[in-house]
Chains A and B, each alone.
Chain A
Amino acid sequence: MDFGNPMFLWALPAVLLPVILHLFFKRRKIRVHFSTLLFFVKKERYFAYRRKFYELLLLALRTLIILLLVLALSHIFFKRFNFTTGGSTEAVIILDDSMSMQCNLSAGGTMFDLAKRKAEEMLNSLSGDDGASLVLLSGRQGINLTRDKAEVLKQVRQAQITAATGSMSAATQTAIDQLRKAPGLNREIYILSDFQKNNKPSRAISTASLENCRIFCMPFNGSSENLSVEGVELDSTPKIVNRTVNIPYKIVNHGRSAKDVKVELEIDGKTVQTRQLTVKEQNSASDRFVFVPMRSGRIIGCVKIIDENIPLDNKAFFTFNASGCINVLLVKETRDSEPDPFYFLRFAIDPVKNNPVLGIRTETANLNSLTGELLKNFHILWLAQGEKLPDDKALLIRRYLDNGGVLITLPSGNSSQETYASLSKVSNYKIYNVYRAVAPFNQSGLRFNKPLSELNDLLQLDLIKWRKIQQIHYPAGNAVAVNGESAMILEQPAGKGKWLALSFDLRRDFSNWPLLKSFPVAMSALINYAAGNSEKSLSSVCGENIELYGEKISFSTTYGRSGELKGKDGKCVFTENWLPGVILFSNAEYEAAVVRPDTSESATGIADPGEIKSFFDSPVALLDIGADITSQVTKLRNGADLSGTLLFLMLILLAAEFVIGGNPGMLWERIKKSISGRNKS
């Protein structure tokens, strides 16, 4: 509240005049002791009550009339905020660049385009001494408070929509931090957002720490219809050329009406399959594409739909590395006198020379010829060692495991506890030597655990007769296959890869299994399982930073951006992760990253004005984006002049007083009487 002519407030005591007159002329109530009240009917009380009410009503009307007159003369203003006229203003614009702002408006264009225009409009309303800054809701870099409004304007114009979500609390806190350091007397925060319901902060954002701060909200509301593609997660099986790859997907309808949608599978920029789906309102529909890669190497694709509203969530990207077959390097000790430990295995998984009919190609090498370059070409290193593994070879294998390689070991000849002990001595990361001594084992049968447990029903594994095993002991490991309490195949993580330790060899020394029909099936399944996580890509959501090990990593994206990341302390961080797609890296441990849009932004539920106000714990002014922003802000800053309204109200009350008080009638009667009296005289 503010007063233009506060001198008139001295007349406020006049408000008491009707009260004093009322008390002065108030009729005294006479108390009479009467013989009986039986002749009075209760309804006669009505006359007394009506009279009393009538008098009080008149008193209230007269008091209000004088009060309104005094307030109107004192030129009262109503201000929702304190605004120091003449002082400079520091304005922070919080622009919502999250994916939901890509929603279309009925008038054309997107909410984000309109928000940028409104931000420009607001910036233009600032005077020369005022400061301005831009904070983007997604967390993307904006611009700090500056007097150079042209620079802020440029930033606003250059702002791009992202497929990330945003934090209203974090953005407001950034604005508060900027304003706290600012010299201006007036501090204002302008929030241009759609105020999505699911982005509502868990508790009201506090601006109490900042004095003289005003918050103006401009809520944008676009179309409520939207379709999005989600759930494209490929399974972990190795992707082999000419073998089927399942590509599941889910279409979500966030709108209020059922939609027919055409779903396309796009591989390397070309549509290869299409589907037609009907998705009910506020519901989802799931299906899958079955794709057969025809070439080896990295394949990039997406499942896409055609939906005009929020195009950023219309594509769900995926990538995988298709190989011609699973390459297995079989490494044996250099002593040729020993029988070939892989004799039966080779026949089981790669029976035809130079034709991997089972999708597995084997190559045999001696331990002495094992090099890093050789290992790069193989998914799996299968090691049959009898004597102690030399330290240099152990180091070589550890590096291979670090980069995601798979090691399968089995006992051979005079294996002992020390055979693979050197693997655990190289200490980049923890790896345990699980082998113990070779011991007789007069048992039969084998039982696979998940995920290979399907083999138990398929194969006659109870025909396996064990003679001896090299005992495996590692309680924290994952037993892939067991016999009773004994682990027969044990898996433990090793770097980014894994180590599968077999307790038996693949000849007839330890069991009769190599001679059984179940052997080749079980070995193929084991190799497929072991090579499962050989995919070297990661998954990320827009807005998240991607951390990679490396000093100098090059990248290129499906949306046409490329560059180089410079590392610090051996680590590179990819920060500009704002759009969905696939990012390809070179010289990094990951070859690719699949970036998905933030699914929370696909929902189109907008908070109503009451809810928007509840985002904050201080008063908030909602601006109408359909009207001129400058005039609205000016009005809120200066306050509303209530004099006219008060005078109008006073006139209404005066008329009511005349009607209720019956004064016009009485006055007329008096005039008539005085005229007739004069005529007579």
Chain B
Amino acid sequence: MARSQYKYLPPETLDSLKNIELVAKTMVEGGMLGLHRSPYHGFSSEFAEYRKYSPGDSIRYIDWKTYARSDRYYIKCFEEETNLRSYIVLDKSGSMGMASGRPVPVKFNYACYMAAAFMYLMHQQRDAFGLFTYSDKIVDAEECKCSRSHLIKLLKLMEHLSPEGKSDAGGCLKRIAEQVPQRSMVIIFSDFFDHDPEFLKSLHHLTFKKCEVILFQVLNDEELKFPYKGLVQFEDLETGETIDLESEACKDFFLSALNQYNAKLKNFCDSQRISFETLTVSTPFERALAAYFSKREAMF
């Protein structure tokens, strides 16, 4: 991919992602060999131990030198290096389409850029990656592959996505958790403005399956700073419900409620060993990505 022609993976991004390598924090299972340690002992270059030959074992792995010394058949076992299966989960509900004063759905685009970057990095590491998008139901479900054509397919798919509809994060994540194999990596991009308790249960379900879960909360500056003044009519992007408010009078209450919500979510994530990151669309996503990986590296 010398020269990117995809919306969410521009050429300048490719350079900044060159040296970033995603390393899974936990051991994961994989169908292909990669940088990640697997609990399954297989036949690779790094020796692990000997074991006695038993009928049915391939004679390819018999250590003839040991046979020569001991006159017994031993099979050489190696610690297998496997590739990572990661799933990008993208919230495409209406709330992600908040425009932030510009005619483009900034939050959703930002999430797409981040998702594209992750997919590119996976591809570079020969790790498999899949994609789920959801609103009130799972809209797209792409299985894990690590081929270039798969990357291109997913990048093109994302270009055609637009945020719309209501959000049912709880229900959708529950179904995703059922589909995702054990020890996968699940990266979720959303604003997580879902007060549904089912959502937290679904996250718990993923951790129960020993998946590594990373939550990226994408927020606008308007949501974080609430800069409105005077009489404002707020329209819910998902329900269409409107409410007239004196913005100055309810600013503090809103910010306090948002912070409380995020703190509660963060506490839950910490208890479940889930990474929770809040991203602001005003921060360039490459910088945000770099910051995340440097933080992640420090964890290992």
Instruction: Tell me the A residues contacting B by CB distance below 8 Å.
Output: 27-42, 44-45, 47-49, 51
Which residues of B (227-250) have their CB < 8 Å from a CB of A? Answer: 228, 230-239, 241, 243-246, 249-250
Do residues B235 and A48 form an inter-chain contact, with CB atoms below 8 A?
no
Interface string of B134-151 (1 = CB under 8 A from A): 000000000000000000
Which residues of B (219-274) have their CB < 8 Å from a CB of A? Answer: 220, 222-223, 228, 230-239, 241, 243-246, 249-250, 253-254, 257-258, 261
Do residues A51 and B231 form an inter-chain contact, with CB atoms below 8 A?
yes
- Shortest distance in angstroms between B83's beta carbon and chain A's nearest beta carbon? 36
- Shortest distance in angstroms between B148's beta carbon and chain A's nearest beta carbon? 35
Is B184 an interface residue, CB under 8 A from the partner?
Answer: no
Q: CB within 8 A of A30: which of B99, B230, B236, B254?
A: B230
Is B292 an interface residue, CB under 8 A from the partner?
Answer: no
Dominant SS at the A interface? mixed
- How far apart sit A169 and B95, CA to CA, in the bound complex (Å)? 79
From B256, which residue of chain A is reached at the shortest CB distance? A39
- How far apart sit A469 and B99, CA to CA, in the bound complex (Å)? 126
Given the known interface contacts A29-B233, A30-B232, the answer about A35 and B243 at a Cβ–Cβ threshold of 8 Å is no
From B96, which residue of chain A is reached at the shortest CB distance? A35
Do residues B195 and A29 form an inter-chain contact, with CB atoms below 8 A?
no
Given the known interface contacts A35-B98, A36-B238, the answer about A45 and B232 at a Cβ–Cβ threshold of 8 Å is no
Do residues A40 and B250 form an inter-chain contact, with CB atoms below 8 A?
yes
Is B193 an interface residue, CB under 8 A from the partner?
Answer: yes
Q: CB within 8 A of A35: which of B223, B245, B257?
A: B223
- CB neighbours of A30 from chain B (8 A): 228, 230-233
- CB neighbours of B258 from chain A (8 A): 39
- How far apart sit A39 and B219, CA to CA, in the bound complex (Å)? 14
- Shortest distance in angstroms between B299's beta carbon and chain A's nearest beta carbon? 30
- How far apart sit A31 and B234, CA to CA, in the bound complex (Å)? 6
- CB neighbours of B239 from chain A (8 A): 37
- CB neighbours of B222 from chain A (8 A): 32
- CB neighbours of A41 from chain B (8 A): 253
Do residues A27 and B230 form an inter-chain contact, with CB atoms below 8 A?
yes
- CB neighbours of A51 from chain B (8 A): 231, 246
7 interchain residue pairs of minimum CB distance: A35-B95, A47-B246, A39-B257, A36-B193, A47-B249, A34-B234, A48-B244
23 pairs of residues in contact across A and B, judged by CB atoms under 8 Å = A27-B230, A28-B231, A29-B231, A30-B228, A31-B235, A33-B97, A33-B98, A33-B235, A34-B236, A35-B95, A35-B237, A36-B191, A36-B236, A37-B241, A40-B243, A40-B250, A40-B253, A40-B254, A41-B253, A44-B249, A45-B244, A45-B245, A47-B249
From A26, which residue of chain B is reached at the shortest CB distance? B231
Do residues B228 and A32 form an inter-chain contact, with CB atoms below 8 A?
yes
Q: Beyond the given A29-B244, A38-B193, A38-B195, please list 13 additional residue pairs across the A-B interface where CB-CB is below 8 A.
A: A30-B232, A32-B228, A32-B233, A32-B234, A32-B235, A35-B191, A35-B193, A37-B239, A40-B254, A41-B253, A44-B253, A45-B243, A47-B250
- CB neighbours of A27 from chain B (8 A): 230-231
- How far apart sit A29 and B246, CA to CA, in the bound complex (Å)? 10
- How far apart sit A107 and B247, CA to CA, in the bound complex (Å)? 72
Question: Which of A28, A30, A36, A51 is packed against the most chain B CB atoms within 10 Å?
Answer: A36
- How far apart sit A47 and B253, CA to CA, in the bound complex (Å)? 13
- CB neighbours of B99 from chain A (8 A): 33
- How far apart sit A629 and B298, CA to CA, in the bound complex (Å)? 105
- CB neighbours of B254 from chain A (8 A): 39-40
- Shortest distance in angstroms between A178's beta carbon and chain B's nearest beta carbon? 68
Which residues of B (83-97) have their CB < 8 Å from a CB of A? Answer: 95-97
Q: CB within 8 A of A48: which of B193, B231, B238, B253?
A: B231
- How far apart sit A8 and B254, CA to CA, in the bound complex (Å)? 53
Do residues A37 and B234 form an inter-chain contact, with CB atoms below 8 A?
yes
- How far apart sit A47 and B261, CA to CA, in the bound complex (Å)? 24
Do residues A34 and B98 form an inter-chain contact, with CB atoms below 8 A?
yes
- Shortest distance in angstroms between B243's beta carbon and chain A's nearest beta carbon? 6
- CB neighbours of A37 from chain B (8 A): 234, 236, 239, 241, 243
From A34, which residue of chain B is reached at the shortest CB distance? B234
- Shortest distance in angstroms between A47's beta carbon and chain B's nearest beta carbon? 4
From B261, which residue of chain A is reached at the shortest CB distance? A39
Do residues A44 and B231 form an inter-chain contact, with CB atoms below 8 A?
no
- How far apart sit A13 and B232, CA to CA, in the bound complex (Å)? 33
- CB neighbours of A49 from chain B (8 A): 244
Question: Which of B96, B191, B233, B246 is packed against the most chain A CB atoms within 10 Å?
Answer: B246
Given the known interface contacts A30-B228, A35-B191, the answer about A40 and B244 at a Cβ–Cβ threshold of 8 Å is no
Given the known interface contacts A36-B95, A39-B261, the answer about A31 and B246 at a Cβ–Cβ threshold of 8 Å is no
From A44, which residue of chain B is reached at the shortest CB distance? B250
Do residues A32 and B249 form an inter-chain contact, with CB atoms below 8 A?
no
Which residues of B (186-216) have their CB < 8 Å from a CB of A? Answer: 191, 193, 195
- CB neighbours of A31 from chain B (8 A): 232-233, 235
Question: Which of A35, A41, A44, A48 is packed against the most chain B CB atoms within 10 Å?
Answer: A35
- How far apart sit A39 and B223, CA to CA, in the bound complex (Å)? 11
Given the known interface contacts A32-B232, A35-B95, A35-B98, the answer about A47 and B245 at a Cβ–Cβ threshold of 8 Å is yes
- Shortest distance in angstroms between B258's beta carbon and chain A's nearest beta carbon? 6
- Shortest distance in angstroms between B222's beta carbon and chain A's nearest beta carbon? 8
- How far apart sit A28 and B244, CA to CA, in the bound complex (Å)? 12
Do residues B233 and A40 form an inter-chain contact, with CB atoms below 8 A?
no
From B239, which residue of chain A is reached at the shortest CB distance? A37
- How far apart sit A586 and B184, CA to CA, in the bound complex (Å)? 137
- Shortest distance in angstroms between B187's beta carbon and chain A's nearest beta carbon? 21
- How far apart sit A32 and B232, CA to CA, in the bound complex (Å)? 7
Question: Which of A27, A33, A38 is packed against the most chain B CB atoms within 10 Å?
Answer: A33
From B99, which residue of chain A is reached at the shortest CB distance? A33
- How far apart sit A44 and B233, CA to CA, in the bound complex (Å)? 12
- How far apart sit A51 and B232, CA to CA, in the bound complex (Å)? 13
- How far apart sit A36 and B261, CA to CA, in the bound complex (Å)? 13
- CB neighbours of B244 from chain A (8 A): 29, 45, 48-49
- CB neighbours of A40 from chain B (8 A): 234, 243, 245, 250, 253-254
- How far apart sit A39 and B224, CA to CA, in the bound complex (Å)? 12
Do residues A34 and B237 form an inter-chain contact, with CB atoms below 8 A?
yes
- Shortest distance in angstroms between A26's beta carbon and chain B's nearest beta carbon? 10
Q: CB within 8 A of A29: which of B232, B237, B238, B253?
A: B232
- Shortest distance in angstroms between A502's beta carbon and chain B's nearest beta carbon? 107
Question: Which of B97, B99, B243 is packed against the most chain A CB atoms within 10 Å?
Answer: B243
- How far apart sit A39 and B238, CA to CA, in the bound complex (Å)? 14
- CB neighbours of B238 from chain A (8 A): 35-36
Interface string of B89-133 (1 = CB under 8 A from A): 000000111110000000100000000000000000000000000
From A50, which residue of chain B is reached at the shortest CB distance? B246
- Shortest distance in angstroms between B61's beta carbon and chain A's nearest beta carbon? 57
- Shortest distance in angstroms between A258's beta carbon and chain B's nearest beta carbon? 70
Do residues A48 and B257 form an inter-chain contact, with CB atoms below 8 A?
no
From B107, which residue of chain A is reached at the shortest CB distance? A35
- How far apart sit A41 and B230, CA to CA, in the bound complex (Å)? 18
- How far apart sit A51 and B95, CA to CA, in the bound complex (Å)? 29
- CB neighbours of B191 from chain A (8 A): 35-36
- Shortest distance in angstroms between A646's beta carbon and chain B's nearest beta carbon? 35
- CB neighbours of A32 from chain B (8 A): 222, 228, 232-235
Given the known interface contacts A35-B95, A36-B95, A37-B236, the answer about A48 and B245 at a Cβ–Cβ threshold of 8 Å is yes
- Shortest distance in angstroms between B45's beta carbon and chain A's nearest beta carbon? 50
- CB neighbours of A39 from chain B (8 A): 253-254, 257-258, 261
- CB neighbours of B223 from chain A (8 A): 35
- Shortest distance in angstroms between B173's beta carbon and chain A's nearest beta carbon? 18
- Shortest distance in angstroms between B268's beta carbon and chain A's nearest beta carbon? 17
- How far apart sit A33 and B102, CA to CA, in the bound complex (Å)? 11
- CB neighbours of B195 from chain A (8 A): 38
Do residues A44 and B236 form an inter-chain contact, with CB atoms below 8 A?
no
- How far apart sit A205 and B14, CA to CA, in the bound complex (Å)? 101
Do residues B245 and A44 form an inter-chain contact, with CB atoms below 8 A?
yes
From A37, which residue of chain B is reached at the shortest CB distance? B236
- How far apart sit A47 and B231, CA to CA, in the bound complex (Å)? 10
- How far apart sit A32 and B235, CA to CA, in the bound complex (Å)? 6
- How far apart sit A36 and B231, CA to CA, in the bound complex (Å)? 18
- How far apart sit A29 and B242, CA to CA, in the bound complex (Å)? 12
From A49, which residue of chain B is reached at the shortest CB distance? B244
